[in-house]
Structure 1
Amino acid sequence: MKKNLFASIIAMLTVGMTLTSCSDDKTPIVPQTAVSLEIPANLENVDLSGAKVVMTNVATQSAHVVSSDNLFQKNGNKYQVLINDLEEGTYNISISGHLDFTLNNVAGQKDFEITSENVKISETSAAVQMVVSTFTAQGGFVISEIFFTGTSTAEGKSYSGDQYIRITNNSDVTLYADSIAVLESAFLTTQKQEYTPDIMSTDFSVQACYMIPGTGKSVPVEPGASLTLAVNAINHTAEQPNSIDLSQADFEFYDESSNANFTDPDGKAPNLDKWYCYTATIYQFHSRGFNSMAIAKMKATKEDWLANNVYDAKYLFVFGDFSREMTKKGIYKVPNSWILDGVNLSVESVREWNVLDASIDAGWTYCGKVDKDETRFNKAVIRKQDANGKYVDTNNSTNDFTPEAAASLVKN
């Protein structure tokens, strides 16, 4: 009997020791783990929504999941969320969400998902930093092609109603084209004058401004996608068999002419919002490329811009022995800081200067080597692409564009 009692006591002590040992081996709990997100520095007005954090314990494969529209809180230049009550251990971490932002003054958006493996979490190391680097927030909208020469008819005559310009999202995120305007220079690259005041270093003097309409996020453009803006968004092959069907263009330059003899066909494409144009009839690009062109993100209302961005420029007109001070009145201007991209155009035999500041375009490009070059028709200036398919943008059109290229929308 005593022997059995002694055996029972030993068994109970063994169980107690075993339980105590298990209790001592319990995995510590980390009360709070700070998870921080670093956003690309050139993004502004960032809004992070729909975030989800999944922290999977490598040893147990148990997943700790938290998600909320307002999960991350801004903390200085980073976004942070506190994760409660994680077991100490090694984790694989996944974070996904949606970013709305401004890139180069243009609204954009991007879904993202990033991961980090074998991250050790402990009471002495309870902070995790991850970087949103699944896309490169570089680039933006660029002018990818300008077709200003028009096509030639079977009789060898010029037809310029089929002109167009293409702008492309050269970034890796979706951007919105709302409020981007196409601008044409007020000054010719073939007639240099010493204008007073000289505002080129701060502003672009324009004679035409047509803007893409929208409420801010009405015109999304996917990475690498383009918008075609046609002078006339119609099927031109009906009138000119050698021309182009532009009836599917994204937008068109439409004018209500004051002259019944010069009317503008209103195609199917939405009309650009006409802010200003020098002509009272219908607008077309200069068919030999004497005017430079740019795109800008307009940061004012039409009324404010028209009221506050007009000036008169004086210059000395000289012809032989004759000279006279002249004034070019009512020139509109767009701040260089609004301009997203610009292209100086000209013709080598008559070119005299660039009318865009060198910070926007230090070079120039062309179609036709002499004035009224009959070989210029059906040709465009097209931006070069690198090995990764990105458009080259060094702010120098001599380097960035292929001159006299076959227009991409013209059937050859």
Structure 2
Amino acid sequence: MKLKFILFITLFSVAFVSCQDEMDVPRATTGVTIVYPDNVQALTILEETLVFTNVSTGENVTVPVNENFDLPRGLYNCSYKADVTYQTTSEGATSNPDEGEAGDDHTQESETVTMQGKLSGKLESVEINSNEKLNLSIETFLFSDKDDFIIEEIFFTGTLRSSGSQYYGDSYVKIYNNTDHVLYADGLALCESKFKSTQYFDYTPDIRKDTFTVWAIYVIPGSGKEHPVQPGESLILCDTGIDHRNANPNSFDLSAADFEWYDESTKPSHMDIDSPTVPNLDKWYCYTLSFWVLHNRGFCSYALARIPIDKETYLRDYYYTYSYTMYLPAGTFPMQQSAYKIPNSWIVDGVNCSVEAARVWDILPPNVDAGWTHCGKIDHDKERYFKSVRRKVAGFENGRCILQDTNNSSDDFNTECVPSIIEQQGTAKDAQGTKASTVTWDGVMPKTESNK
């Protein structure tokens, strides 16, 4: 009896202290105004969520939209998501009345169509510590299903030799047909950002809302229907399409990849390898004078785009010159640089990558990717090698794998996975040569007889 009494007193004391601690945490009243896109007609909100994430603790707090609420003081990231309907107008076709019968102008009236889509917006590093009410504003972006390829996997970290040294050439990007019909890969462009997620400047002019600044563009060749991809099938775009195990036993075989990016280097000491078994992507532009490799610490963003104009027109009309100021201990330095740009409306899918300890911003705007993904916890993380980011499985339909695509890489991707090709070939997953023994759909869900 005495033991029970002591236990009761102890639990009561813990509960009282916990409640008292919670009451003692300073809180601040906050209000959020959602700014909806001004170019959208008849917008109707079906479902919406507003989440504040405490940067220090990682705790997520879902708060009411368009109402005041209290939060413990601290540093927060904030994200808004909504399922919506909106209207768009399709213009009617009009023929020349002289070509028809008298009085018949063959004019078709414009038609208003109701569409479904999603809104997203976010704020980062919001400091909530004021004694007065804090009023925030979140600008939202509309995105809808592009009915095109998505990025399934990015393997940018590379492998290591048994000596522990970095090996180059075996990086790849997997693209996936997540639809229920055949897609054609002809003309699809793979692009890497020029800007880095770990370094931000006030770029002038600032065109990020509408445009993606790139320094590498490689396009799948073809006249339109030369490269069909069935529903649930992938294509592998790789750095060098050879069996890399000949140079590094800890690597794997890419000699059967679908395409490789190949560069005619002007640096005799840094020559690229042109695979005899893997066709080349059409190189539209790349910054390097030697050969392109994916940023192996994951500081860049990647996008798939459909460029609706020819190469010559693009290279002539989509050059972007911008200025910014570098503030260093040695002084202030005005800078000017140039790059090519891709209108965000051409992008069919995009993925922001970074490293949490060094991340400053997301290069792609929220209507393309409202989140980010990673391999490695810190810059130069030695544990990042042999790992990729892989898109999560959302479900299965008639035996076809459906991958998750909410335009938010923080939600859509599994991080630090064993790459799919390493799993499939049973090759090394570390510098010690340990062989992969499990095959998964997305780096987490095992492939079994029941879900194949």
TM-score bracket for this pair, using the shorter chain length: 0.5 to 0.7
Runs of 4+ aligned residues of structure 1 deviating over 3 Å after TM superposition are none
Q: Deviations over 1:85-141 (max 9, x none)?
A: xxxxxxxxxxxxxxxxxxxxxxxxxxxxxxxxxxxxxxxxxxxxxxxxxxxx98420
Structure 1 residue 311: deviation in Å?
1.5
CA contact (8 A) 1:342 1:361 kept: yes
RMSD: 2.1
> 1:232 and 2:240 equivalent?
yes
Structure 1 residue 270: deviation in Å?
0.7
**Counterparts in 2 of 1:100-115, with a 5 A limit?**
none
Q: What amino acid maps onto 1:401 in structure 2?
A: F
- Provide the residue aligned with 1:158 in structure 2: 166
**Counterparts in 2 of 1:320-359, with a 5 A limit?**
320=329, 322-329=331-338, 331-359=339-367
- Provide the residue aligned with 1:276 in structure 2: 285
Structure 1 residue 160: deviation in Å?
2.4
User: Alpha carbons of 1:387 and 1:317: their partners in 2 closer, same or farther (altered >3 Å)?
Assistant: same
Q: Deviations over 1:145-175 (max 9, x none)?
A: 0000001111111112100000001100001
CA contact (8 A) 1:364 1:396 kept: yes
Q: What amino acid maps onto 1:308 in structure 2?
A: D
Structure having the higher Rg:
1
Any idea what SS the aligned residue of 1:358 has? coil
User: Alpha carbons of 1:306 and 1:222: their partners in 2 closer, same or farther (altered >3 Å)?
Assistant: same
CA contact (8 A) 1:138 1:171 kept: no
**Counterparts in 2 of 1:118-137, with a 5 A limit?**
none
Match of residue 311, structure 1, among 310, 317, 320? 320
**TM-score under structure 1 length normalisation:** 0.66
Provide the C-alpha distance between the structure 2 equivalents of 1:376 and 1:142, rounded to a whole number of angstroms. 24
Q: Deviations over 1:309-356 (max 9, x none)?
A: 002110010113621211112x10011111010000111111111111
- Provide the residue aligned with 1:290 in structure 2: 299
**Counterparts in 2 of 1:82-231, with a 5 A limit?**
139-231=147-239
Any idea what SS the aligned residue of 2:334 has? strand
- Provide the residue aligned with 1:401 in structure 2: 413
Structure 1 residue 76: deviation in Å?
10
Any idea what SS the aligned residue of 1:234 has? coil
- Provide the residue aligned with 1:99 in structure 2: none
Any idea what SS the aligned residue of 1:409 has? helix
Provide the C-alpha distance between the structure 2 equivalents of 1:312 and 1:138, rounded to a whole number of angstroms. 29
Provide the C-alpha distance between the structure 2 equivalents of 1:279 and 1:172, rounded to a whole number of angstroms. 38
Structure 1 residue 298: deviation in Å?
1.4
Any idea what SS the aligned residue of 1:206 has? strand
Provide the C-alpha distance between the structure 1 equivalents of 2:201 and 2:231, rounded to a whole number of angstroms. 41
Match of residue 268, structure 2, among 244, 260, 265? 260
Structure 1 residue 221: deviation in Å?
0.4
Provide the C-alpha distance between the structure 2 equivalents of 1:247 and 1:176, rounded to a whole number of angstroms. 22
Provide the C-alpha distance between the structure 1 equivalents of 2:292 and 2:269, rounded to a whole number of angstroms. 14
Q: What amino acid maps onto 1:368 in structure 2?
A: G
Instruction: Give the structure with the larger strand fraction.
Output: 1
Q: Deviations over 1:203-256 (max 9, x none)?
A: 100000000000000110000100000100000000000101000000000000
Provide the C-alpha distance between the structure 1 equivalents of 2:153 and 2:249, rounded to a whole number of angstroms. 22
**Counterparts in 2 of 1:58-69, with a 5 A limit?**
none
CA contact (8 A) 1:178 1:218 kept: yes
CA contact (8 A) 1:376 1:404 kept: yes
**TM-score under structure 2 length normalisation:** 0.60
Q: Unaligned stretches of 5+ in structure 1?
A: 1-41, 45-74, 78-136
Q: Unaligned stretches of 5+ in structure 2?
A: 1-87, 91-107, 111-144, 428-435, 437-452
Q: What amino acid maps onto 2:171 in structure 1?
A: Q
Any idea what SS the aligned residue of 2:312 has? helix
User: Alpha carbons of 1:361 and 1:252: their partners in 2 closer, same or farther (altered >3 Å)?
Assistant: same
Provide the C-alpha distance between the structure 2 equivalents of 1:189 and 1:138, rounded to a whole number of angstroms. 25
